[in-house]
With several copies, the nearest count.
Chain A
């Protein structure tokens, strides 16, 4: 399941909801990742744009992979502004055994960074500045170069 939030992700409620929805479903392992905005480089926070249709297909392709291992992915992400020490990203996977969960979550988060259609901006001195230096061209970039 993929959930988007205006502003920060409510981490505790999100993890609780996922856990509750799956605890009786005979998964032995639940591995999760929470990303929180760090106070660094003088930023006041981060801000995100998301292109939802492509994000949903990207997520579905991972859900498909997970299904083959009898696992299931969850993800929550922020749109708009997220302030320092708030969380913008939560990902989780339920799997029968821990090894599959740990490995798939790792691969998922890596691919997420490279290919999920989300744009990040620093909030600095009241401005919203594209994080160009930390951004990665997606698969197939430069087709119209």
Chain B
């Protein structure tokens, strides 16, 4: 199980998903049409480390967060 959190304006409750890879996660998340636009422009962190590699493995208990476009200041 991994938990997935949707930050900032995405405005969706956290989910628990039984996925073992980013590929599986991606497939699960694309089932929600409201997420499509956010998946296109959000970054991904696993256990609070940003990831760039689709081959990164997911382990049981990992926390994944989706970070949509930012604007601080």
Contacts and interface: CB of A to CB of B under 8 A. Distances in A.
A42 interface: no
Interface stretch (A10-18, A45-53, A66-74): A45-53
B43 A119 contact: no
B73 A138 contact: no
A142 B7 contact: no
B72 A113 contact: yes
B73 A57 contact: no
Interface residues of B, number: 30
Nearest to B43: A138
**Range, interface on chain A:** 35 or more
A139 B71 contact: no
Interface string B35-73: 000011111110011111010000000000111111111
A112 interface: yes
Main SS at interface, chain A: mixed
B48 A35 contact: no
B58 to A, nearest CB: 12
Contact of A143 (B7, B54, B70, B73): B54
Contact of B43 (A53, A98, A120, A139): A139
Nearest to B29: A144
Contacts of A132: 9, 69
Given A137-B41, A143-B52, A116 B72 contact: yes
28 contacts: A51-B7, A51-B65, A54-B45, A113-B71, A116-B70, A116-B72, A117-B70, A118-B72, A119-B7, A119-B8, A119-B70, A119-B71, A120-B70, A121-B9, A130-B9, A132-B9, A132-B69, A135-B68, A138-B42, A140-B50, A140-B51, A141-B41, A142-B39, A142-B42, A143-B43, A144-B29, A144-B66, A145-B39
8 nearest CB pairs, A to B: A119-B8, A118-B72, A135-B69, A130-B9, A53-B48, A138-B43, A120-B71, A135-B71
Interface of A: 35, 48-49, 51, 53-54, 57, 77, 88-89, 98, 109, 112-121, 130-132, 134-145
